[in-house]
Structure 1
Amino acid sequence: MEGDQTDTRLASTLRFTPHRAEPVVLGEKEIAASGSALSVREVHDVLDQAWHDIRNGRALGHKSVLSLPEEAFWQEAGYQGRPVEFAGERLGWKLSCLYGANPEFAGVKVIGANAFNRHFGLRRSRSTYILMEKFSMQPIAIIDATALSAARTGAYASQVLGLCPIEKDQITVFLFGAGPVAKAILASLADRAAFRIGRVYLKARRVERAKALQASLSMTLPFDIVAVEDSGFLAEADFVITATNSDRPVFGDHELRRDACLLHLGGDEVPAETLRRILRQGQVGCDDLATVSRRNSQSLALQFSRAGSSLEALGPHLGILELSKTKDWRVQPGAPLSVTCVGLPVLDLYVVAALFQKYRASRET
């Protein structure tokens, strides 16, 4: 039978209607013009459903990454070695593919990234999502998901803060990073935890970036935000978030309060000493053991792989918890908590599908 013909006998028994139209292409301009961009609250609401489906086995996803050698980039770009302005920073020259499926949709997110892009006035990474009807696997839409990717990552901040056993009315947060994810973190905290936060200290590799982010948001956030040049105020922090492109730890364990809680969203940013201490004295967790372990780019996974083992193999025996398994962590009051989140691929599917459905609804009115 030809591909454009239908077996009416078989089709009559189907419980779904295959998608036949050409996929819609939604770039940033089309999303803005149609009013389809998701608010922070809408992102949180759809991610609540995503986590429910993940924990009940209704949503699946995986990630593949092709990391290209930095040495090859510098040579091919005409440099003798790594330029001094990239000292202490991951180039992150890679191609990533995140794919997932839920009860209604399937999809693939393709990410191209290179920190060198800032010298061209380009973003470090760009995400393109191909949304598909799940059963026929026909493409429905091709969507610029760069902003959505930052939003779904930033949403981890309020989710993890809700797990922290912090018994204070006004929490002090210390945020490392001043890029799109840092901005999304602040938006997430403002939407779901504004009443709990008194002040956020903001530190970036280049202090002018931290000051620029502070200036752009200070009049809109419901808590104080202060750009700082060093980690002097880290000792005051109840909740520490790392969201940088650093290739080494961004603080020393001695700089943290013993009961401070930590959310780790970047690469190898957390000292091994910190992770060992919290394993002994508090609770360590991640969004998903297998995904963090196999990606092997963050401090928690590297702690095990550098010793010849893996987080996936030893994590369950050490009591390391997973957001993908349960939301009831029951961390003891006053105990330190460290949570590493790599970003589960199927989360992108939910926010992209929600944006597409909002776009489709706008076209029908």
Structure 2
Amino acid sequence: MVLVLSGKDVRSLIGPREALSVATEFFRTFDEGDYRIPERTVLADEGEGYVWLFMPSSSRALNALALKVVNEYRRNPELGLPHAQGLTLLHDLSNGRLLCLLDSHALTQVRTAAMTCVAADRLSSGGAEVLAVIGSGDQARVNAEYLKEVLRPSSIRVYSRSRERREAFAAELERLLGIEVTVCGSPSEALKGADAVLTATNSATPVLNGDDLEEDALVMSLGALPTRRELDLRTFERTSFVCADRRASVVKEAGDVIEALRRGVLREDEIAELPEVVRGSKEPVTSGIRVYKSVGFAAIDLFFSLRLYEMARDRKVGREVEL
């Protein structure tokens, strides 16, 4: 029998605090996991407006293998379909048995937001008074929800290119989080006074001007493809500390980091890794402009999938099917 976990199941199993604990455990024990992380396979057609990602990983220490398949279709919302969707397969590594099928979109939301919270917890200096959010999609919403628990902002400032979407998004956040949310007409307006900034977009061009950042600001950027650039070169020129979820992934898969490296604004050896910061082998910087860059990687999908599977078995969540 195979356990099937829907997106609703995944979100019911884990909240911000528990997800933060799981992500912290992952980063603290990452070097002990004996992970194999092949480069992800990307199948994309910019003209047709879709991208498929195939991300396998295994761990002998966990005796598990996971393959996450996820796609994004730019025009899907116009058709009443989800923008992102997919499936993650969790297997027993010792015999290949399929243990669980999980909704990839929900898994990605939860683990990405948890990773962002780990970074915010380590790189902030006691929270944030004002959080600026650039973007209005699911990742922006879930990350803002999780960050409220760690940064405890008193207000949020929101911007996205569509006026209709940013107004609806701000109203949704205000209902969800119970704090003041201001709709802004430009990125520079959103950044004014913000000591924490979240960018969660699919933009191919920078969504903010680094000169608009406050002198003391934590920037958390979630762009995930070589063709996408959320941060401009000026942001990297002004930064005092750059931290990646995984350096090897970010330097190949984050378009803004790739451009900064190519232009000589940033060196690869200047990029810290979140596992180093969590373990204490790398001292974080908590003042000035700090950048956390995340593209995600398959090992944390494996770790979260296994933990969610164990939680679901214990709590009798999900549906068992025979394939």
Q: TM-score range by the shorter chain?
A: 0.7 to 0.9
The alpha carbon displacement at 1:286 in A equals 1.1
Aligned to 2:315: 362
Q: Which amino acid aligns with 2:184?
A: V
**CA separation of 1:354/1:235 partners in 2, compared to 1, >3 Å: closer, same or farther?**
same
Q: In structure 2, how many angstroms separate the alpha carbons of the residues matched to 1:255 and 1:242?
A: 14
Per-residue CA distance 1:159-210 (angstroms, 9 max, x = gap): 222233546x75211110111111111121123332xx22111111212222
Aligned to 2:108: 149
Q: 1:209 and 2:165 equivalent?
A: yes
Equivalent position to 2:23, from 47, 61, 64: 47
Q: Counterpart of 2:26 in 1: which secondary structure?
A: helix
Aligned to 2:258: 301
Per-residue CA distance 1:86-128 (angstroms, 9 max, x = gap): xxxxx4x221111223323221100122212112111221120
The alpha carbon displacement at 1:331 in A equals 4.0
Q: 1:135 and 2:88 equivalent?
A: no
Q: Which shows bigger deviation, 154-163 or 132-141?
A: 154-163
Q: Which shows bigger deviation, 110-119 or 348-357?
A: 348-357
Aligned to 1:121: 80
Q: Which amino acid aligns with 2:81?
A: L
Within a 5 Å distance, the mapping from 1:12-161 to structure 2 comes to 22-28=1-7, 31=9, 37-71=13-47, 73=48, 91=49, 93-102=50-59, 103-104=61-62, 105-161=64-120
Per-residue CA distance 1:27-86 (angstroms, 9 max, x = gap): 346x38xx9532222222221221122143444434413242323x2xxxxxxxxxxxxx
Q: Which amino acid aligns with 1:66?
A: V
Q: Which amino acid aligns with 1:264?
A: S
Higher strand share: 2
Q: Counterpart of 2:277 in 1: which secondary structure?
A: coil
**CA separation of 1:139/1:273 partners in 2, compared to 1, >3 Å: closer, same or farther?**
same
- In 2, are the aligned partners of 1:190 and 1:222 still within 8 Å (CA)? no
Q: 1:260 and 2:217 equivalent?
A: yes
Q: In structure 2, how many angstroms separate the alpha carbons of the residues matched to 1:121 and 1:165?
A: 39
Q: In structure 2, how many angstroms separate the alpha carbons of the residues matched to 1:151 and 1:28?
A: 10
**CA separation of 1:95/1:332 partners in 2, compared to 1, >3 Å: closer, same or farther?**
closer
The alpha carbon displacement at 1:332 in A equals 4.5
Aligned to 2:139: 181
Q: Counterpart of 2:276 in 1: which secondary structure?
A: coil
**CA separation of 1:170/1:336 partners in 2, compared to 1, >3 Å: closer, same or farther?**
closer
- In 2, are the aligned partners of 1:106 and 1:132 still within 8 Å (CA)? yes
**CA separation of 1:127/1:63 partners in 2, compared to 1, >3 Å: closer, same or farther?**
farther
- Which is higher, the Rg of structure 1 or of structure 2? 1
Equivalent position to 1:342, from 295, 305, 309: 295
Equivalent position to 1:330, from 243, 265, 283: 283
Q: Which amino acid aligns with 1:56?
A: E
Q: Alignment RMSD, CA only?
A: 2.6
Q: In structure 2, how many angstroms separate the alpha carbons of the residues matched to 1:260 and 1:63?
A: 32
- In 1, are the aligned partners of 2:211 and 2:234 still within 8 Å (CA)? no
**CA separation of 1:43/1:63 partners in 2, compared to 1, >3 Å: closer, same or farther?**
farther
Q: Counterpart of 1:326 in 2: which secondary structure?
A: helix
**CA separation of 1:222/1:119 partners in 2, compared to 1, >3 Å: closer, same or farther?**
closer
**CA separation of 1:247/1:63 partners in 2, compared to 1, >3 Å: closer, same or farther?**
same
**CA separation of 1:286/1:170 partners in 2, compared to 1, >3 Å: closer, same or farther?**
closer
Aligned to 1:289: 247
**CA separation of 1:204/1:136 partners in 2, compared to 1, >3 Å: closer, same or farther?**
same
Q: In structure 2, how many angstroms separate the alpha carbons of the residues matched to 1:140 and 1:332?
A: 41
Aligned to 1:245: 202
Q: Which amino acid aligns with 1:320?
A: I
Percent sequence identity over aligned pairs: 21
Q: In structure 1, how many angstroms separate the alpha carbons of the residues matched to 2:265 and 2:100?
A: 38
Q: Which amino acid aligns with 2:66?
A: G
